[in-house]
A and B are shown apart, each in its own frame.
Chain A
Amino acid sequence: MLRFLLTRVSLIIPTFLGVTLLTFALIRLVPGDPILLLAGERAVDPERYAQLRSAMGLDRPLLEQYAIYIWNVLQGDLGRSIVTKRPVLSEFLALFPATLELAICAILFAVVVGLPVGILAGVRRGKIADHTVMGLSLTGYSMPIFWWGILLILLFSVTLGWTPVSGRIDVRYWVDSVTGFMLIDSLLSDEPGAFRSAVSHLILPTIVLGTIPLAVVARMTRSAMLEVLNEDYIRTARAKGLSPARVIWVHALRNALIPVITVIGLQVSVLLTGAILTETIFSWPGVGKWILESVYRRDYPILQGGVLLLATVVIIVNLTVEVLYGIINPRISRGR
């Protein structure tokens, strides 16, 4: 087990280095001179230019520049935003809880709806319920979520007026940031109605971001159920006279869950991709919107740092899923 763990952890080092190579190259490949970019509208006289160049280490050999970059990254120094002048890392950390909160709600939505629906489809294979679930989930899987978001706003916010259009909470409420999670912070605050407002702001973004994972979970649960239901031990359980509900919910589901959990873990990358689109549509103040706006503002240090940090999140989550999978299913960790 320890060996399995060490191999897995050592495998992510080259991946992480590769990502840093990419982000290091990014700032040098974007059009425009980095110093002139930093200077923005102001003019830079040649003397000052040379001074800045050496201060930023741009006159050193490329390899040395990369080494300095890695050294800084490992110490948590990801540079400063050109626009706000604040450190990239602290901006990221301030916004990440908003993205995390949305992502957690989306995955919960996907599992709470997708699991039972997938089980239903698997058990009722070939029946109307199965066809409906599979049809809807393939539609969800094919959904351009940026359009789906607009459509939901059109229906629930504009036409019916049930939910707010954008943001995390109504401007009337001032909630102190304790955990960064609006749902928890609004509960902790004494403002009446703040929690309600936070929930109503979360509903549509959660549905939009959760749609594709929901479709994936439903499809995966169905096929895992179908596979498990054919096993001999299920026939044994049935032959013993156990109730169909017990066979499905206790005997079959437990084994069917293994591939489903893996798939849920692998949705993190999908969620972060979706977060960029979802946060843009709903003006959700998270890292996805932050990164996209850095592109519009040519705030390249943010793009560089944001990409590295998000990729690190994905790498760590994928590693955790793999290790957990190894613990649940010992055949994997003993395989090699």
Chain B
Amino acid sequence: MSIEAPVTATAPVSTGPDAPPHPLVDFWRDFGRNKGAVAGLVVIVLVTLMAIFADFVAPHSPIEQFRDALLRPPAWTENGSWTYPLGTDAVGRDLLSRLIFGARLSMLIGFIVVTLSLIVGVTLGLIAGFFQGPVAIVIMRAMDIVLSLPSILLAIVIVTILGPSLINAMIAVTVVVTPHYVRLTRAAVMTELSRDYVTASRLAGAGLLRLMLVTVLPNCVPPLIVQATLGFSTAILDAAALGFLGLGAQPPTAEWGTMLSNSREFIRSAWWVVTFPGLAILITVLAFNLLGDGLRDALDPKLKR
């Protein structure tokens, strides 16, 4: 049948029914079956769009104080108005606008922390995987030390040294999460190094850098993608925790954790000021965890039924 009708609407690379589908197609089918992961992806795309277009989406400026509307409740309650859909805080700033701009910060934190820790972690992991002996021992021991400290505690120490600010909180969180990437990369590298294709490449005369970056690294990518996705949620959560403790972003910055710490005193009088920032953190973190779980299932051949 395929001989008689060679030119159809199908893609040129597709072949007969017996050939395995392209890995990406295969991946997408597995991924699409996981409704939670798809939902997570949708939420992440929405939050990202909201973060990028915050200036257009947000009804007000995140730091403008409406002095005639202090602690106004959300629109659907008594005394609420649609001018401030989610209400206002103690100095009359629109909560929804602050949450939208907070999304920009949180996504940025996640992106920077994940990028930095990927670069540092993969580099150290590759080195520790390729050079057995003292170099690997020193790197892995250093990572053990970092991992033996409770993460928030280490972050607090770093922020104490550098001073509390959003940038320093990001640096602290990066230091805390990097060991996971190092361990993961090293383990993947060590598995790959014993494979025949690496030996073949070596015999063909490939240099060290080529072996590292071109031959081995691409085959270590799947677990790193999963870790990076989950890394977003850790970064957002830890940075928010530091903000909550007063050691991250400083007021009046619209950061979700910082917003929460400033609103604690209104817990009895204004539930919305306390509830919504935390909900924003939870939804975003949950979305990244759902996506990470889905990616792991789709990328891990062992879990396929």
Contacts and interface: CB of A to CB of B under 8 A. Distances in A.
Interface in A278-322: 280, 291-292, 295-296, 300, 303, 307, 310-311, 314-315, 318
Interface in B271-294: 271, 274-275, 277-278, 281-282, 285-286, 289-290, 293
Most interface-central of A277, A280, A295, A315 (chain B CB within 10 A): A295
Contacts of B161: 26, 29-31
A150 B264 contact: yes
B145 interface: yes
Contact of B244 (A143, A277, A296): A277
Interface stretch (B60-68, B115-123, B152-160, B208-216): B152-160
B150 A138 contact: no
Interface string B133-176: 00000000110110111111100110011010000000000000
A286 to B, nearest CB: 13
Given A272-B153, A314-B150, A144 B145 contact: no
Contacts of A30: 160-161
Given A26-B157, A277-B152, A295 B247 contact: yes
Tell me what chain B mostly uses at the interface: helix, strand, loop, or mixed. Answer: helix
Nearest to B271: A154
A15 B141 contact: yes
A262 interface: no
Contacts of A300: 160
B237 A144 contact: yes
Given A18-B142, A144-B240, A144-B241, A276 B160 contact: no
A151 interface: yes
Contact of B260 (A14, A18, A146): A146
A291 B156 contact: yes
Interface residues of B, number: 42
Given A30-B161, A151-B275, A154-B274, A311 B149 contact: yes
A325 interface: no
Contacts of A329: none
A307 B278 CA distance: 28
Interface string B240-275: 110011110000000001001000100110010011
B233 interface: yes
A144 B278 contact: yes
A153 B264 CA distance: 11
B286 A318 contact: no
A315 B286 CA distance: 30
Most interface-central of B148, B151, B271, B290 (chain A CB within 10 A): B148
B241 A146 contact: yes
Interface in B169-221: none
Given A147-B282, A150-B260, A273 B153 contact: yes
Given A273-B151, A280-B245, A318-B148, A150 B142 contact: no
Contacts of B142: 18
A147 B277 contact: yes
A132 interface: no
Contacts of B237: 142, 144
A295 B159 CA distance: 10
A143 B282 contact: yes
Nearest to A17: B145
Given A19-B145, A147-B281, A303-B157, A138 B244 contact: no
B29 to A, nearest CB: 19
A72 interface: no
A272 B147 CA distance: 13
Contact of B274 (A15, A150, A310): A150
Contact of A273 (B152, B233, B275, B282): B152
A142 B145 contact: no
Given A276-B153, A311-B149, A153 B282 contact: no
In the complex, the 3 A-B pairs of residues with the closest C-beta atoms, listed nearest first: A147-B278, A18-B145, A273-B150
Interface of B: 36, 141-142, 144-145, 147-153, 156-157, 160-161, 163, 233, 237, 240-241, 244-247, 257, 260, 264, 267-268, 271, 274-275, 277-278, 281-282, 285-286, 289-290, 293
Interface of A: 14-15, 18-19, 22, 26, 29-31, 135, 138-139, 141-144, 146-148, 150-151, 153-154, 158, 269-270, 272-273, 276-277, 280, 291-292, 295-296, 300, 303, 307, 310-311, 314-315, 318
17 contacts: A15-B144, A18-B145, A19-B149, A22-B149, A138-B36, A138-B293, A142-B233, A142-B282, A144-B241, A144-B282, A146-B244, A150-B274, A269-B149, A270-B150, A273-B151, A273-B152, A300-B160
